[in-house]
Amino acid sequence: MKAGRQTEIIQIILETITSREEGITKTQLMYKSFMSYIQLVEHLTVLRRSGLIEYNPSTSTYKTTTRGLRLLQVTKEINKLVTNKI
């Protein structure tokens, strides 16, 4: 998978999780991100290992960590810079 596409997928997942204050279940995230279960599990594993999201087993939900929120903010800033004409 190309790096650009990977970045887009990570951004979509982080934005989707962040949009839900109480967290989001794997099923809800799968439908909102339009990914197959296998694709989603692979990406969630990478995001958890990177410390960008956390899983709460008592509610079966995922939430964005402070580090994940920071990555999302930086990604948005970079996208703004790239799309603005200099």
Residue with tokens 């594993």: 45
pLDDT at 8: 85
**What pLDDT, on a 0 to 100 scale, did the predictor assign at position 85?**
60
CATH number of 3-83: 1.10.10.10
| 53, 44 Cβ separation under 8 angstroms | yes
Contact 18, 69 (CB under 8 A): yes
* Residue 63 DSSP SS3: strand
Q: What is the pLDDT of residue 31?
A: 92
- Give the pLDDT score at 86: 54
**pLDDT under 70: residue ranges of the chain:** 1-4, 85-86
